[in-house]
Chains A and B, each alone.
Chain A
């Protein structure tokens, strides 16, 4: 299941989407919205996507994860629009025959998503708002 949604994500539904009788492990990553950023309070967040390209990149990441780790199933779901603090913004679930591949593929998928999928987060502070540019500082 590869999706971009505007409604709340229910992690158990994503988990169910990768269940498989041949799998011995399921790993799930849930990215949640933090109430602070660089020492400032974050009141709410807003995600924007270039949806057709974002979906294309998400499908590609899923294909790469399958090819690289030989996993059974993978689902990647990202939410966009306005989110409150503490909500799930992204959920990635991976099933595989053995746990190591599920862990590694899950980490690969979230890391790849952050560097390749055109989605942006805006944080709303008590005194204003700004697009998140953390990626620049990491370089």
Chain B
């Protein structure tokens, strides 16, 4: 099994009720698995899933990106900087 840290920001942080979570996953799990686990935590995530981007180790990744031990996954809701 692998352990990944998940960081949640803005709307995603509000929905999860946490800034950081840790998940233990089978090796080979895709990053998108995190969104499924978050939907189990709060079903509101389901509504937003098309608008949440994922980043791993400070780079945007597609949902099928394969996670590795100690990866830092970030859940990125719609941006509004500037």
Contacts and interface: CB of A to CB of B under 8 A. Distances in A.
Interface of B is mostly: mixed
Interface stretch (A9-17, A66-74, A119-127): A119-127
B17 to A, nearest CB: 15
Given A52-B58, A122-B10, A114 B74 contact: no
A120 B80 contact: yes
Given A50-B9, A50-B74, A118-B55, A131 B82 contact: no
B49 interface: no
Interface residues of B, number: 18
B81 A49 contact: yes
A24 B74 CA distance: 41
Centre residue among B9, B14, B82 by max chain A CB count within 10 A? B82
A115 B9 contact: no
B74 A118 contact: yes
A135 interface: yes
Interface of A is mostly: mixed
Given A52-B58, A120-B9, A120-B10, A113 B82 contact: yes
B5 interface: no
Given A48-B9, A48-B10, A131 B81 contact: no
